[in-house]
Amino acid sequence: MKTRKHLLFIFTLCFSLNSFSQDKIDLLILNKNYEEALLQINSQIEINPSAKLYFKKGIVNQSLQNYQEAIFAFSKAQQYDPKNVEILNEMAESLSAIGNYHDAVNYFQQAVQLEPSNLSLAAKLGRSLINLKQYKSAFDVFSAIYKKDSTNLYWNKQLAFCSFRTAKKVQAIHLYEKVLEQNPRDYSTYFNLSRLYSRKKEPEKIVNLLENGLNEFPGDAGFYLEFANYYFGSKQYDLAMPEFENYFSAGGDSLFKTNLNYAISCYFAKDETKALKVLSSLYHLSPNDPFVLFYMSLCNKKMVNYELAESFMEGAIDMSIPEYLSEMYHHLGQIHGQQREFVESIAALVKSNELNPTNHEVLFEIATTYEEYNSNKTLALNYYLIYLKEAGESGKNTNYALDRITKIKEDLFFEE
C-alpha cells in the first residue's frame, strides 16, 4: 500500500514539474525570448520527447524565420501525433514560406479533410493552389467557401481573382465590385476591376472607377497611369497626354514604354516638339527601336525636316524586319532546291541574302544552285566570286569555291 502511495506521489510530482516546465516555455515564447525557449525545449525533449514540445520548437523557429528547422520540428511532432490539425497547418505554413507550395497543398488538404468545417484552413489551401497557378482547383475551393460564408472580404477577393483567371468575367466583376463596397481602400482591386471593365468595353465604368480611386488616394501615380493607359489604348491621345504628365509629376517611374506611349500621345495631340524631345531621349537609350525611329520620322516630317524624316523612316523599316525572316527564306530556298525547283530556290535564297547580308553562306548556296541547273555558268561564277569577297577567310566553303571558280573558268575558256 505504501509503495503504491510512493509511486502516485512520484507520478504527481513529475507531472507537476513537467507542467511547470511547459508553462515556463510558454511564457518565454509569449515574451519572445526565443533563444531561451529553444534551450528549455531541447532540454525537455532529451528527457521526454512529445508532439507538444516539437510543435513548440517549430513555432519558435517559425517566429525566428528559420523555416527549415521549423519544418523538421513539425515533422517530428507529426510522428507523435499524425492527425493533429494544428501541426499540419503550421507545417504547411512553413512550407509555403519557403515557396514549397506543392507540399504545402498536401498538408493543407490533410488538415481540411480532418476539419472540413474550418473555412480558414480551406482558404489557406485555396491560396496555395493560386500560388501553384492551379486556378480551377482554387476556384472550386473558394466557391465552396462562398456558399458557406459570402461575407468574408478576403475570401471574396480570392474568389474574384480565381473567377477572372478561369474566364468567369461576369462573376469576377460582381465580386470585385462587392469587395470595393466593403472596402473602398482596397488599392489593387481598383486596377483589377478597371482591366475587367476594359475587356467588357465599359468606358463610363472605367472612368468612374478610377475617379473614385483618386478620391480615395489623391495624387496617386498609379491611378494617373491607369487613366493614361486607358485613354492611350482607346486612342484618345489628347486626354492621355495630360494624364501621363500627371503621372510623372506624381513621382511615377520613367519607364521606356511609358515614355514612348507619352511621346506618341504628344504626337497625335499635335505637340510634335514635345514628342520629339521625349523620343530623342529614348533614341539615346535604344537607337534601334523601330517605334522610336518611326515616330521620330513622323515628327520630323510634320516639322518639314524631310532629310531627317527619310533617314529615321529607313531605319525604322530596317529595324522592323524580324531577324528570323531571313532564315525562313533560307530554309525555303533549301526546300525548293531539294525538290529541284531551282527558280523558286534561287528567288528565296536571294531574298534571304537581301534581308541578312551577313549570312555569306547563302551566297555560296546560290552559286551552287546556279551551277547545277543553269547551263550558263557565268552566274554561278559571279556568285562564287561575291562569296569569296564577302566571306573572306571566314567562309566555311572557301576552298570548294576556289576549286569551282578554277574549273568554271577553264570550261569557259575552252568554250571560247
Query: Would you say residue 306 has pLDDT above 70?
Result: yes
325-415: CATH superfamily: Tetratricopeptide repeat domain (1.25.40.10)
The 10s digit of each residue's pLDDT in 115-125 is 999 999 999 99
State in Å, rounded, how far the first CA of the chain is from the last one.
Answer: 135
Q: How confident is the model at residue 5 (pLDDT cuts 50, 70, 90)?
A: very low
* Dihedral sign of CA atoms 135, 140, 146, 149 in order: negative
What sign results for the dihedral spanned by CA atoms 350, 352, 356, 360?
A: negative
- In 3D space, the residue among 190, 198, 188, 131 whose CA is nearest the CA of residue 165 turns out to be 131
pLDDT tens digits, 154-199: 999 999 999 999 999 999 999 999 999 999 999 999 999 999 999 8
> Distance between CA 199 and CA 408 in Å, rounded?
66
Q: Which amino acid is at 78?
A: Q
**In whole angstroms, how far apart are CA 202 and each of 173, 199, 206, 235, 350?**
12, 8, 6, 15, 50
pLDDT at position 17 is 42
If phi > 0 it is left, if psi is from -120 to 50 it is alpha, else beta; for residue 236 that is: beta
pLDDT tens figures, 30-40: 888 899 989 99
pLDDT in tens, 92-117: 999 999 999 999 999 999 999 999 99
Burial environment of residue 365 by CB neighbours within 10 A (0 to 12, 13 to 18, 19 or more): buried
Cα–Cα distance measured from residue 271 to residue 382, given in angstroms and rounded to the nearest whole number: 52
Residue 294, pLDDT > 80, answer yes
Q: How far apart are CA 355 and CA 136, in angstroms?
A: 46
Find the angle CA(121)-CA(122)-CA(128) to the nearest 5 degrees. 90
Rounded CA separation 210/227 (Å): 7
Mean pLDDT of the chain: 92
Which residue did the predictor score with more confidence, 334 or 17? 334
* pTM of this structure: 0.77
* Segments making up each domain of the chain, as ranges: 12-132, 254-320, 325-415
Q: Which residue matches cell numbers 507540399?
A: 103
Residue 258, C-beta contacts closer than 8 angstroms, at least 6 positions apart: 225, 244, 247, 252
Q: Are 292 and 283 in contact (CB under 8 A)?
A: yes
Q: What is the largest CA-CA distance in the chain?
A: 135
If you average pLDDT over residues 339-352, what whole number do you get? 95
Whether the domain at 12-132 and the domain at 254-320 fall into the same CATH topology: yes
The pLDDT assigned to 137 comes to 98
Which region among 29-43, 68-82, 242-256 has the lowest average model confidence (pLDDT)? 29-43
Q: pLDDT tier at 285 (50, 70, 90 boundaries)?
A: very high
Determine the Cα–Cα distance for residues 119 and 144; give it in Å rounded to an integer: 9
The topology (CATH level 3) of 12-132 is 1.25.40
How much is the pLDDT for 6? 38
Task: Take residue 344 and report the three cell numbers written for it.
Answer: 523558286
Query: How many Å apart are CA 121 and CA 127, to the nearest integer?
Result: 10
Q: Is the pLDDT of residue 262 over 80?
A: yes
Q: Answer positive or negative: Cα dihedral of 226, 228, 232, 236.
A: positive
User: Residue 322 has what pLDDT?
Assistant: 86
**Residue 21 — pLDDT band, cuts 50, 70, 90?**
low
The confidence score (pLDDT) of residue 318 equals: 87
Position 246 pLDDT exceeds 90: yes
pLDDT class of 8 with cuts at 50, 70, 90: very low
> What percentage of the chain reaches a pLDDT higher than 70?
94
- The matching CATH number, chosen from 3.40.50.300, 1.25.40.10, 1.10.10.10, 2.40.50.140, for 254-320 is 1.25.40.10
Nearest to 119 by CA among 96, 140, 142: 142
